[in-house]
């Protein structure tokens, strides 16, 4: 029982500045993912969860009222005022539909997580935008308007539907907004794997450093794995999961795991410049499924190569559906590598026949990671990646006994 959230109205949030030059946070991102899942036959065996806009009371558990009122005001702003308003913020674009789309994005994730927590679904994928993990309590930033995951977690906790939640953020950028909300909270374990580049990579702050472990009761509940440079690949992520994240997750024993599922660390992403394959995303999804009784929700964040995010999302959905892995079912990076250098017009013009997706899904045998896994499961980390994970592990041994075994 796997659900998904998708609503075409979330495409209405658009950059007004230059329509001829698509913004990286492209409205087509969610359709690209939806379409590959449809073509592959996944949506036929998934439940579509209805999206309703999140209400003020839920937003105000995370965001300040003054910011919410400013966001509401954008509905009646003229184009010139919208363009002037967005300049006040860091890497944000606004239009009249932006606040509605942001409410839909957060509301969609919340609806999906409620169904998972209630047992109506086992897991799910939220195909939503605008993204949320950079959005702070008082300001939007980094393409993010409302903090979708934080709003969802706070509402679930307020309703006493969950006590402990783990958030795994594999977006290539540090989720500074999520960290801000839960930094002193021992009921939410936040773990982020991100490019850091000594604090120079966006959001260009030392908040993503490995020494940021939380404060007060939340000390030890904030785990940052800051990659030192571009080019991080499967072996680095798998090593981090095996050595650090999975032991801590099992000790923490969350009621629900939410993944801030940006796909901008994927091969061919023009911003992330890393080398994570679809197979690796599938492996990480499968490993997280082994925790919290499989209650797992992936929530779209970044990812700016349309083919890369589509293939990566498809890879994640397969283990959620318990579809047995067979060679050729998930396109290799080389298939979309050629499209990475094409113009937007050429990418849009690629006919569906170019994509070789299998429509024959074998659900008779459960994919057992202990028996049959993609090759990346045994991939080795780079020297630099291993050193980073080991240093983070040493820091958190103080807080987690599972890391001392």
**Cα–Cα distance for residue pair 362/88, rounded to 1 Å:** 51
Are 32 and 22 in contact by the 8 Å Cβ rule? The answer is no
Assign residue 315 a region: left if phi > 0, alpha if psi is -120 to 50, beta otherwise? Answer: alpha
Q: Which of 319, 317, 301, 311 has its CA nearest to residue 277?
A: 311
Q: Which of 247, 112, 109 has its CA nearest to residue 189?
A: 247
Burial (CB count within 10 angstroms: exposed 0-12, middle 13-18, buried 19+), residue 78 = exposed
For residue 336, give Cα distances in angstroms to 154, 167, 281.
38, 29, 16
What would the two tokens of residue 98 be?
A: 């932006």
Are 120 and 137 in contact by the 8 Å Cβ rule? The answer is no
| Per-residue DSSP letter, 145 | S
**Cα–Cα distance for residue pair 331/386, rounded to 1 Å:** 28
**Cα–Cα distance for residue pair 37/67, rounded to 1 Å:** 36
Are 60 and 154 in contact by the 8 Å Cβ rule? The answer is no
Q: Which of 304, 307, 343, 299 has its CA nearest to residue 25?
A: 304
Which residues are catalytic, by number?
134
**Cα–Cα distance for residue pair 43/37, rounded to 1 Å:** 6
**Cα–Cα distance for residue pair 3/26, rounded to 1 Å:** 24
Helix (H, G, I), strand (E, B) or coil at 88: coil
Helix (H, G, I), strand (E, B) or coil at 101: helix
**Residue partners of 314: CB distance under 8 A and separation at least 6:** 33, 36, 37, 40, 42, 278, 330, 357
């Amino acid at each position: 029982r796997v659900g998904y959230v998708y609503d075409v109205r979330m495409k209405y949030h658009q950059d007004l500045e230059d329509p001829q030059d698509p913004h990286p946070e492209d409205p087509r991102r969610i359709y690209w993912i939806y379409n590959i899942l449809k073509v592959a036959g996944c949506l036929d065996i998934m439940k579509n969860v209805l999206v309703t806009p999140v209400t003020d009371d839920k937003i105000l558990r995370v965001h300040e009222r003054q910011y919410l009122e400013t966001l509401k005001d954008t509905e009646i702003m003229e184009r010139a005022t919208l363009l002037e308003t967005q300049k006040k913020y860091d890497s944000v674009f606004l239009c009249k539909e932006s606040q509605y789309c942001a409410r839909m994005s957060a509301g969609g994730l919340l609806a999906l997580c409620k169904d998972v927590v209630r047992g109506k679904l086992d897991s799910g994928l939220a195909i939503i935008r605008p993204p949320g993990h950079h959005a702070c309590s008082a300001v939007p930033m980094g393409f993010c308007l409302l903090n979708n995951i934080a709003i969802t977690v706070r509402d679930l906790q307020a309703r006493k539907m969950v006590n402990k939640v783990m958030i795994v953020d594999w977006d290539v950028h540090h989720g500074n907004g999520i960290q801000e909300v839960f930094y002193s909270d021992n009921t939410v374990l936040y773990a982020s794997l991100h490019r850091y580049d000594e604090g120079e990579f966006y959001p260009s702050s030392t908040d993503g450093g490995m020494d940021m472990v939380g404060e007060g009761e939340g000390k030890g509940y904030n785990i940052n794995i800051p990659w030192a440079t571009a080019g991080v690949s499967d072996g680095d992520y798998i090593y981090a999961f095996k050595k650090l994240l999975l032991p801590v997750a099992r000790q923490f024993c969350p009621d629900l795991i939410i993944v801030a599922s940006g796909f901008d660390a994927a091969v061919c992403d023009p911003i992330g410049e890393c080398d994570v394959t679809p197979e690796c995303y599938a492996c990480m999804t499968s490993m997280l499924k082994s925790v919290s009784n499989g209650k797992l929700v992936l929530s779209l964040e970044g990812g700016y190569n349309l083919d890369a995010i589509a293939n990566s999302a498809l890879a994640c959905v397969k283990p959620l559906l318990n579809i047995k892995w067979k060679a050729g079912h998930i396109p290799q990076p080389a298939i979309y590598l050629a499209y990475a250098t094409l113009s937007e017009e050429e990418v849009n013009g690629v006919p569906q026949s170019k994509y070789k997706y299998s429509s024959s899904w074998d659900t008779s045998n459960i994919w057992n990671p202990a028996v049959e896994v993609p090759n990346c499961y045994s991939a080795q980390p780079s020297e630099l990646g291993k050193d980073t994970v080991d240093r983070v592990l040493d820091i958190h041994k103080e807080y987690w006994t599972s890391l001392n075994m």
